[in-house]
Amino acid sequence: MHSVLTVLILVAGPLGCSANGDADDHEICGELELEVTMAVVNQHKDEHVVEGIEEGLATYLGISKSYVHIKFDGGDHAGHNHARRLNVNHEIADYNITFPNSGHADHSAVTAASDLLKATKASSQHTSLLIANITAKVVSAIAAAVAAGEIINLQIVGGELLNDPSIGHVCHAAESSTTATTATTATTAGERRAASFFLGFVVLFVAALF
């Protein structure tokens, strides 16, 4: 009887759960608009430029660059009633910041980054500092690329956060390009929970026999 109860206790918890909580709680996402002049169309998507933007955002937030991912969409943003400079492209990027579960169980780093992004969205002074950080890192990245023989003629002349940051599952919902992957992951997790429930039921049934 004791052995059956031991098995019951072990199976009672869903197999797909983690002691560290929901990994989605460690993700922040939002939209960033950059005002860019460039000699070649879509040069803002060059890997060196993107890496510079990622490093600039990470530096501003005081986090590791490895946490930050930038992806540009194909549109051009025209709004907010700010004066549009001649020959300036308004490029919109989705940013996703993923903190590792290890070392961030209390979510303090996630909260600090989210609060700073909210403050930046609401403050022109904070926004200027963010864009200055991004610009400096992009300039460095372009200089390194040019030294290696590439030709990149691009400047960042302004920008802003387009919305307040989001945290958690909504970040996955916003990533249309990864919908299939997300759905597959969710399905797998659901299958694990269903299997755990079934095993728990079986153990309860066996326990009743004793």
Q: In 10 A of CB 189, how many CB atoms?
A: 14
pLDDT, tens digit, 9 for 90 and up, residues 114-150: 999 999 999 999 999 999 999 999 999 999 999 999 9
What is d(CA 81, CA 37) in angstroms, rounded to the nearest whole number? 19
List the one residue out of 15, 34, 1 whose CA is nearest residue 208.
Answer: 1
Are 53 and 137 spatial neighbours (Cβ–Cβ below 8 Å)?
yes
How far is the CA of 109 from the CAs of 18, 27, 28, 67, 103, in angstroms?
20, 11, 11, 12, 9
- Per-residue pLDDT at 80 exceeds 90: no
What is d(CA 173, CA 184) in angstroms, rounded to the nearest whole number? 13
* Highest mean pLDDT of the ranges 23-27, 63-67, 87-91, 187-191: 63-67
- Per-residue pLDDT at 52 exceeds 90: yes
SS3 18: coil
Are 134 and 53 spatial neighbours (Cβ–Cβ below 8 Å)?
yes
Specify the residue for token string 């599952």: 169
Q: Looking at residue 11, what is its pLDDT?
A: 42
DSSP state of 163: S
Amino acid identity of 134? I
Are 56 and 160 spatial neighbours (Cβ–Cβ below 8 Å)?
no
Whole-number average pLDDT of the chain: 77
Q: Looking at residue 172, what is its pLDDT?
A: 72
Q: Looking at residue 141, what is its pLDDT?
A: 96
What is d(CA 159, CA 70) in angstroms, rounded to the nearest whole number? 15
Q: Looking at residue 168, what is its pLDDT?
A: 86
Q: Looking at residue 199, what is its pLDDT?
A: 53
Please report how many Cα atoms fall inside a 13 Å half-sphere around the Cα of residue 117, on the Cβ side. 26
- How does residue 97 score in pLDDT terms, banded at 50, 70 and 90? very high
Q: Looking at residue 93, what is its pLDDT?
A: 96
pLDDT, tens digit, 9 for 90 and up, residues 172-185: 765 554 444 444 44
- Per-residue pLDDT at 98 exceeds 90: yes
Q: Looking at residue 174, what is its pLDDT?
A: 56
Task: Report CA 1 to chain centroid distance, whole Å.
Answer: 49
